[in-house]
Amino acid sequence: MGTMTDIDFTPLKGLKFNCLEGCGFCCSFPAEVREWEKNFQVILEKDAGAFRKWDDGHPCLDGIYTFKQHNDRGACIFLNENKRCDIYDIRALLCRTFPVKFFFGWRLQLYPSMSCRGFSEDECSDMVHLGKEVMAEIPADRINKMLDESKAMYSSLPERIANYVPPEILQKLLLEYVDKMVFEPWNISEASIAEFEAELSSGKFIDLPTYLTEDLEWQVFKLEDGFVRRILLNRTGETENIDRIVYSNLSVKTFSSEALETISRYLRLLASTDHFIGVVYHKAIEQKADGNQLSDMAISEFEKVKEIFHLKASLLAEFEKWEHVNEKTVEDAIVLYDGYLATLPAFGMIL
């Protein structure tokens, strides 16, 4: 297996986690399954129709399947009516490791999915310890192969990106920048508003903003006919409109001082993830903008993260009829927002 210097647990430090009974929210996402996993064939023997091929044309996703979902938008077909997994003993790797996520870049980094509500200080597992446990779930030769491939990919970046900046320098820059960020409701760019609206208006149900409430309800937000509807999603894929707001009445709200501290902690966590740096590299290669400094692109991308987070926090506050974004709203917005960033393409390999 890659040496410990190749593996970074930093984003997991200080976090505690406990899986919540009756939640199952992670089972509402189409979990990736790879043919080399030890349980792949075992699951197929149990149910020959368990998987569907992930086919979006991206070469990194070749050979990847996902569990079928009820009505293509509910939970995994193996999540039963008690929100327990019917194949728990042979479940897929991603199901075993959640909420620990992996990013293969210039190193292997483990980081948390904050879309889960299981983070707490009460009788919980230390996330670094959990991360080391889940490392044992992946065959060592597989880790080394992916790490070798991703390192080779990253070693090519200085030739492919004008004004290249090493990832460690970009992360240091972003972590310093977080402390200087200003959260003003009148300072949201038109580009961020357009991206926010596009996500809310997506024709694909799975791409709409999805949220787990404190009561462990699965909710989805959709912009349609001038209204943002809050929709209850059931395990079997049925939906129910709960309430709605007039989109044109949605205002970008100010943060309380406690809320600012909470959002700053979250943004520092994002800045420390290799995945976000991978997003920046991907954008730099995609845009081929020789005149742009990579450090400026990184800050611009991070500003967009801040702005879209601000919009989503304001959306939650509007539904709760609050004039300001308080600390609790920020904590809720982290759950709403965090699943979104990891769906963005990044220059690296994600497991």
The pLDDT tens digits of the residues spanning 186-233 come to 889 999 999 999 999 999 998 999 999 999 999 999 999 999 999 999
Which range marks the domain in which residue 70 is found?
Answer: 4-148
Q: Would you say residue 302 has pLDDT above 70?
A: yes
Q: Would you say residue 96 has pLDDT above 90?
A: no
Task: Give the chain's domain count.
Answer: 1
* Contacting residues for 340 by C-beta, under 8 A, at least 6 apart: 199, 209, 308
Q: Residue 187: what pLDDT?
A: 85
Is 34 a member of any domain?
Answer: yes
Could you tell me which of 101, 129, 132 has the C-alpha nearest to residue 269? 101
Beta strands in 68-188 (DSSP E): 100-104, 108-112, 125-126
CB atoms within 10 A of CB 15: 22
Q: Would you say residue 268 has pLDDT above 70?
A: yes
Q: Residue 85: what pLDDT?
A: 95
Model pTM above 0.75: yes
Distance CA 96, CA 88 (A): 9
Is residue 122 classed as helix, strand or coil in its secondary structure?
coil
Is 64 a member of any domain?
Answer: yes
Is 50 a member of any domain?
Answer: yes
Q: At what angle do helices 257-271 and 294-319 cross, to 10 degrees?
A: 140
Could you tell me which of 116, 28, 97, 26 has the C-alpha nearest to residue 350? 97
Is 333 a member of any domain?
Answer: no
Q: Residue 29: what pLDDT?
A: 87
Distance CA 309, CA 270 (A): 12
Is 178 a member of any domain?
Answer: no
Q: Residue 58: what pLDDT?
A: 59
